Structures are given as structure tokens and as C-alpha cells.
Amino acid sequence: MNTVAAVHRASFDERLPWLAGLHTPEEDRAYFRNVVFEECEVWGTLEGSMLTGFIAFRAGWIDQLYVLPAYQGQGVGSALLDVAQRRCSELNLWTFQRNAIARRFYERHGFMAAELTDGSRNEEREPDIRYIWRRPDQSHGRGVI
């Protein structure tokens, strides 16, 4: 749990430096312990014994997907996202509008923009975007008898 919180903080602060320090490490650990691990399925990737990335998801939603900066662009995030996409037929997620790297990543994996906000509903007060992904219909082109 503490390792997951540390991966989150390292990735978040690297990609979103204007929001760094919003929470203390203890607040991060408490959030993951009391919310994420209680409400979500959590999967991770390892290199040796080191956690390099994780995804936390529940029915219809990806709540967290973070990869250590040194491992980004190496397929870690794609492998984690694949777990959720195999287990859910539809997924929603939020990311910040200014997080262009995350937006490109999700769009490459079939997510479509569904809603833009001014950030007034999130604690960071940062404009965000909700993405949605639906598993492609596997029945197209097949006759049903």
C-alpha cells in the first residue's frame, strides 16, 4: 500500500509539477489505504521486486493509473490498462486537460472525450476531462442464426 502511494506521488509530481505537494505522504498513504484499496481492484507491474506502475479500477471506472517516470513509454501503462479493459466492457476516467501526455495515451487506447469541466468540482480546481471507452462490439459482421 505504501509503495503504491509512493509510485502515485512520484508520477503525479513529475507530470503535474504545478500541483506537487497538494498532499503529504501520510495523506497519500491514508487515501490509498482507506479509499483505493477498499473500493478498487488494484494491479501492479514489477521489475524484480520494485513496483513500476499500478492501476486501480472498479466497475465502469479507472480511478488511478500511474507509472514511475523512468518506466513511462515502455508499455507498462498499456499492460495495466489492458487488465481493466479485459475485465470491464466500459470504462470512464478523469484526467487534467493540461496533462497532454495522459490524454494522448488514453486516446491511443480508444478512449473518447466525453466531458470537459472548469475544475470547480475537483479538489485541485484544475480543468479536467472525462474520457470513456467501450469495448468494441464483437458481433459486427457476423450473422446470427
Instruction: Summarize pLDDT for 26-55 with one digit per residue, the tens.
Output: 999 999 999 999 999 999 999 999 999 999
Which of the following CATH numbers is that of domain 2-134: 3.40.50.720, 3.20.20.70, 3.40.630.30, 3.40.50.10190? Answer: 3.40.630.30
pLDDT reported for residue 1: 82
pLDDT tens, residue by residue, 58-85: 999 999 999 999 999 999 999 999 999 9
Phi, psi of 27, rounded to the nearest 5 degrees: -65, -40
| Total residues found in the chain within this entry | 145
Q: What does pTM read for this prediction?
A: 0.90
| 138 or 53: which leads in pLDDT | 53
